[in-house]
Chain A
Amino acid sequence: MTPTTLYSDKKLFVSFYKNALSRIRGVAVIYGILMFITYPMFYLINIAEAMQRLALGQRYYGFEGFLDMYTASSLFFFAVVAAAVVSLSAISNSFMHSKKAVDVFHALPVRRPVMLLANFAAVSTAMFVLEAVCYLIVGITSAFTIPIPFIPLIGEFIRVFVLTMAIAAIAAFCAVCANTALDAAIFTAAFNAVVPCYTALIIALLDVFIKGFVADNAVLQFSLRFSPVCMLYQTYFYDVISYTVLNNIIYLVFTALVLAFSCHIYVKRKSERAQSNNTSAFIYRFIVTAASVGGGAFWGFVFAELFGWGDRRTATNVIISCLFTAVIYLIFNAITTRRVNPGKKGFVWMAASLALTLGLFASVTTGFFGMETYLPLIDEIQNVRIYYGGDYDNISRYVPDENGRYRYVRGGNEGVVLEKAEDIAVIHNMHREIIDGFTSDNRLTETQYVSRVRFEVEYTLDSGRVVKRDYYTEVPESVIRDFTLIDDMESFKRQMAPMLISPASDLEFFEIKDGFGKNHMRLELTGSEKEMLYNAIAQDTLNRTSQMKKQHNEMSLAKISLRYKTVETDRNGIVLSENSASIPAASVHYTYETVANIEELYSGVCFEVTSSSINTIKALNQLGLEKYTTLAQPQGIKAVVAISGSPYYDTRSANFWLSAKSFDDLGFADHINWTENQKGYFDPQQVAQIADSCTSTIYGPSIKEREPLFMVLFVNEDIDLRYIYDEQPEVICYYMTYDNAPQFVKDEFAKYIYDGGYVIK
């Protein structure tokens, strides 16, 4: 006889849900306190400090992440959130891992999926409440102090909650698969870590051992998406654009699928597995194998990096890697099985792990099976995309997306497409030179390498196939020279130079600074004047070539800053004026402001006016700005304080000949590495020679990477006298090109350069 009234699944769900809530309540409160401490409490402290500073008219940069809504301690907040959801899931599902508890729970007239989902709902509810309280406190606080936009704040809360549910779903899945609570926790951690860890390992392998495959952060970012725990940190580290509403939907679908699969497995799961160490299950083997292959390969490659490759060394590295794989396998196997002997099946899986480790080594030693040195035939190439910024590498671009918001692009990050045959030939030749540089037959000696550069190229072949390579490697000088050929390409300039892309109407205003840095002004121009100057600059940009720069040995006569319209906003999406005392925009990577009729926005765009800038000089003269088109040598030099000489952009510290008694007293020592000059003062003749050689206070466009440049610091006063009276003299800085420099400077410089291991022609 069936009971007269059977409870529906819904009622049973509610009953079990309430019970699950009561089971996790105590621990949830503890985590709630930790969450409050690590986020809202520190937020309140930061706000209090920010308010004090704002009252003093200072800008305050004490916040982190998306919308400046986090603090440094929020790093721990996300860790606590992850720990909370894993712990609460473990508690709610713990009955599955106890023989005693299974007898009670599995005997109850409740379907297992209902139990699992009720537990999941209870954990989600607890987390929802805890997270809502945290974000509510922040929201309310911001409403009365420094406002955070309401909708994005809600969005951030939803994001965290959606990820929390995804973690809870993984924890539920692991609880169902594992036989003990410890295994469930290990599996949950492993499932969140396995993809990012392997990606990091592969990235390391590519970066260190396989040329042409620099796996950049985008790959890691992508792999992190497989780990909701890692994704919690997404907005903390500013990467907001890549987390859209679609991500929430994807994670919700993911959560639903994982839960559905977990329910299916739970129904099939045998109760008698509780507390047992039956490790024949695939999941156990998978975790042990993943850990052993990853760990073995990691340590093997660490040794390879330390001791290098070679016939014997490679064999040693392989043996070490296999040893680590075997040892890690045995350790993990012992942890999961609680016994030392892995048994017959265990040894079979260990052999499979060793085979995978060997496979990884084979891929490295064969240069990723020959892909490292593959170069498509030039005749097959339809076009080339080269990721290179050249002179425009430091220019920030804001490209509008389909939502009317602006995407941040740095320099050549999006690449330039080259279609002309001669342009393609240049790139193809560079690529071949790079491959020749590291292949065994033509391997360059250490002294032939002049620099480590990034060469990222993407070929689209006639067949439609895309071949992409990304090198970060030492290259010979010829490759460095080839980069200047790219700079001179018209198609490169037309895709990279803002003045050749954007119309004059996108320009807000010009600023100009003379070569001495003395005169600095904003140009007040009419529309037609602005257009005339803009077009002149555009024409000169197009005309300027490396050859011209070399011929003219150009230094700057003046520097024109092109100020395009900007979209810097505050946290309410309101455009800030430059001197606003409010907290600055959440980040320059993100904005809510839609600026109509502007295709791209730029910042940091400058044009160096040199003697070859014929059109610009003409335009400036027409505008009555002659003083910006001429440059005089420095006058009245009494003494040269110091000369810095180093290949431009070189990371090594500069060398100096110091004439001052103690240059440190002038307050420059903190900025640059100076060395004492053993010679004392330059004599007046030398000072005069140096003065004649100086050309500008701004280094010129001809100064390219690795070309020597001297920075001369001098005074027009008697520095000893000033020193006695404890008054620092005014130090003036001029630049001096290598070609212009007096011979005695070149000689001293050559000694340093030689000692430093450089080859200077």
Chain B
Amino acid sequence: MIATKNFTKTFGSKNAVENLDISIEKGRIYGLVGTNGSGKSTFLRTVCGVYYPDGGSVTVDGEEVYENVAAKSKVFFVSDDMYFLPNSSIESMSQLYKGIYPTWNQEKYDKLTDKFPIDKNKKVKNFSKGMKRQAAIILALSCQPEYLLLDEAFDGLDPVIRVAVRKLIAEEVLERNMTVIISSHNLRELEDFCDTVGILHNGRLIMQHTMDTLSDRYCKAQVVIDKNSTVLDNFKHEKVLSVKKSGSIYTVTCAMSCDEAEKFLGRFNPVFMDYIPLTLEEVFVSEMEAIGYDTNNIIF
């Protein structure tokens, strides 16, 4: 299990992450979403031991990660900004990882390099962004980590490879109970792939739910109310994330189940009420709007 307790990371005078408490169970595919600069990459870098936490603790299976070979051996981090050794090929990079990760699986490596449409002996510097991403994923999966940290992992991959990679990761999760943390802005993708999602903003965890419970906890309803009523203000409620009016139709997004929403909206005697499927992106945007991070504050 990956767990942070009061984890704080500071860059200069800015807190990138502040008192963060997260626990991620084994075997999960955890989607980490958040606004720009919310601390996603900082969180991932600290979990893999690149950063030292300035406050609190970051543990992998109960062990502090920083300078801990045992803990770090379980983790593999694929950075958003991929790096390969100068003039290296996938093959030469594999030599490095083979000598360092005790869980390196040569058979898997051979299989993956055969399957993926890239040349393992070709210099990585000549690869496209997507091919580099494939190379990084091949190496990561060959290391067979218990915890795979992916920062914008699917960025640059074509749709076919994207599906293949997702399938491969899912297989690893099923076969080896691998835990995956994916940081991405592509919420649609995470929605289909992750079983748990957490939203970070300004270094704090805004929410964390499994995808199953997400629909039980969030509801989006379209209601039509008598046009003479000034109900907009009356919708104010701590669990109402956003209200949008279009003619006489109100679209209300709230952090409550549909039953709770029906009870709450029923007080306004709606002429018409219907529920619309809520996407992760809508949850995210609504949560952000609720804390004042919405387009109205950004676009003039």
Residues on A close to B: CB < 8 A?
A: 1-7, 9, 11-12, 14-16, 18-19, 22-23, 26, 98-104, 106-112, 267, 270-272
Q: Is the pair A3, B103 in contact by a Cβ cutoff of 8 Å?
A: yes
Which chain A positions have C-beta within 8 A of B277?
Answer: none
Is B61 located at the chain interface by the 8 A CB criterion? yes
CB-defined A-B contacts under 8 Å, sample of 25: A1-B74, A2-B73, A3-B73, A3-B74, A3-B102, A4-B102, A6-B69, A6-B102, A11-B99, A15-B100, A19-B99, A99-B81, A100-B83, A103-B77, A104-B79, A104-B83, A107-B48, A107-B49, A107-B76, A108-B100, A109-B70, A109-B72, A111-B67, A112-B67, A271-B51
Residue of B nearest to A5 (CB): B102
B300 CB within 8 Å of chain A: no
Residue B268 interfacial (CB < 8 Å): no
Say which residue of A1, A14, A102, A104 sits within 8 Å of B99 (CB atoms): A14
- Within 8 Å of chain A (Cβ to Cβ): is B117? no
Give the shortest distance, in Å, between A222 (CB) and chain B (any CB): 40
Q: Is the CB of A109 within 8 A of B69?
A: yes
Say if the beta carbon of B13 comes within 8 Å of chain A. no
Note all chain A residues with C-beta closer than 8 A to B246. none
| A18 CB contact (under 8 Å) in B52, B99, B102 | B99
Closest Cβ neighbor of B50 among chain A residues: A106
Say if the beta carbon of B146 comes within 8 Å of chain A: yes
Closest chain-B Cβ to A498's Cβ sits at a distance in Å of 66
B129 touches A (CB below 8 Å): no
Across-interface contacts of B146 in A (CB, < 8 A)? 1, 3
| Docked-complex contact A100 and B79, CB < 8 angstroms | yes
Nearest 6 pairs between A and B by C-beta?
A15-B99, A109-B72, A100-B83, A103-B79, A109-B73, A107-B48
B26's nearest neighbour on chain A, judged by CB, is: A1
Contact residues in A for B61 (Cβ distance below 8 Å)? 1-2
Q: Are A16 and B100 in contact (CB under 8 A)?
A: yes
Of A3, A15, A106, the contact of B49 (CB 8 Å cutoff): A106
The answer to whether B83 and A108 touch across the interface, beta carbons within 8 angstroms, is no
Whole-angstrom distance from the CB of A577 to the nearest CB of chain B?
A: 60
Given A100-B79, A103-B81, A12-B74 contact (CB < 8 Å): no
A267 to B67: give the CA distance in the assembly, Å: 8
Which residues of B lie under 8 Å from residue A14 when comparing CB positions?
A: 99
Chain B residue numbers with a CB within 8 Å of A101 are: 83
Indicate whether A102 sits within 8 Å of B95 (C-beta atoms), given known contacts A16-B100, A107-B72, A271-B45.
no
CA distance A12 to B102 in the complex (A): 10
**Which residues on A sit within 8 Å (CB–CB) of B11?**
272
**Is B6 close to A, CB under 8 A?**
no
Chain B: interface residue total (CB-CB under 8 A): 34
Among A9, A107, A111, contact of B77 (Cβ-Cβ < 8 Å)? A107
Q: Nearest CB to that of B11 among chain A residues?
A: A272
Is B50 in contact with A2, judged by CB distance below 8 angstroms? no
Query: Could you say which residues of chain B place their CB within 8 Å of the CB of A18?
Result: 95, 99
Alpha-carbon separation in the docked complex, A410 to B136 (Å): 69
Q: Cα distance A103–B102 when bound, in Å?
A: 20
List, in ascending order, chain B residues with CB within 8 A of A112's CB.
67
Q: For B96, give its contact among A15, A107, A111 (CB under 8 Å).
A: A15
Q: Tell me, yes or no, whether B127 is within 8 Å of chain A by CB.
A: no
A6 in contact with B73 (CB, 8 Å): yes
User: Which residue, A1, A2, A16, A23, has most C-beta atoms of chain B within 10 A?
Assistant: A2
List residues 55-107 of chain B with CB under 8 A from any CB of chain A: 61, 67, 69-70, 72-77, 79, 81-83, 85-87, 92, 95-96, 98-103
Residue-wise interface mask of B (28-52) relative to A, using a CB-CB cutoff of 8 A (1 in contact, 0 not): 0000000000000000010011111
- Complex CA–CA separation, A103 to B77 (angstroms): 8
Min CB–CB distance A281 → chain B (angstroms): 14
Cross-chain contact B50 with A102 (CB below 8 angstroms): yes
Residues of A with C-beta under 8 A to B73 = 2-3, 6-7, 109
User: What A residues does B95 contact at CB under 8 A?
Assistant: 18-19
Contacts of B76 in A (CB 8 A): 107
Minimum CB–CB distance for B284 against chain A, Å: 26
| Min distance, Cβ A104 to any Cβ of chain B, angstroms | 5
- Bound complex: CA A109 to CA B101 (Å): 7
Whether B92 and A22, one on each chain, are in contact in the complex, defined by CB atoms closer than 8 angstroms, is: yes
B227 to chain A, nearest CB (A): 56
Question: Which residues of A have CB within 8 Å of B67?
Answer: 111-112, 267
Q: With a CB–CB cut-off of 8 A, which chain B residues contact A103?
A: 45, 50, 77, 79, 81, 83
Cα distance A5–B74 in the bound complex, in angstroms: 11
Q: Which residues of B contact A12 (CB under 8 A)?
A: 69, 99-100
The distance in angstroms between the C-alpha atoms of A271 and B51, with both chains bound, is 6
| Given A2-B74, A6-B102, A107-B72: A23 touches B51 (CB 8 Å cut-off) | no
Closest Cβ of chain A to B207, distance in Å, is 27
Q: Which residues of the partner chain A approach B69 to less than 8 Å between Cβ atoms?
A: 6-7, 9, 12, 109-111
How far does the Cβ of A165 sit from chain B's closest Cβ, in whole Å? 24
- Beyond A5-B102, A7-B69, A103-B79, 10 additional contacts (C-beta under 8 Å) are A7-B102, A100-B79, A100-B81, A100-B82, A103-B77, A107-B72, A109-B101, A110-B72, A271-B45, A271-B50
| Known pairs A107-B75, A272-B51; A98 contacts B100 (CB<8 A) | no
CA distance A4 to B104 in the complex (A): 12
Residues of A within 8 Å of B51, CB to CB, are 270-272
Complex: how many Å from CA A111 to CA B67? 5
Q: Looking across the interface, which residue of chain B has its beta carbon closest to that of A4?
A: B102
In the bound assembly, the distance between CA atoms of A99 and B79 in angstroms comes to: 10
The one of B74, B77, B86 that contacts A23, using a Cβ cutoff of 8 Å: B86
Q: CB-CB < 8 A to A4: which residues of B?
A: 102
Q: How far is the CA of A6 from the CA of B45 in the complex (A)?
A: 22
Q: Bound complex: CA of A2 vs CA of B81, how far in Å?
A: 28
- List the B side residues contacting A111 at CB < 8 Å: 67, 69
**Distance of A272 Cα from B51 Cα, bound (Å):** 7
Q: In the complex the two chains form, what is the Cα distance from A104 to B95 in whole Å? A: 14
B123 CB to nearest chain A CB (Å): 13
Query: Which residues of chain B come closer than 8 Å to A106, judged between CB atoms?
Result: 49-50
**Residue on B nearest A11 in the bound complex, by CB:** B99
- B223-276 residues with Cβ-Cβ distance < 8 A to A are none
Q: How far is the CA of A22 from the CA of B92 in the complex (A)?
A: 10
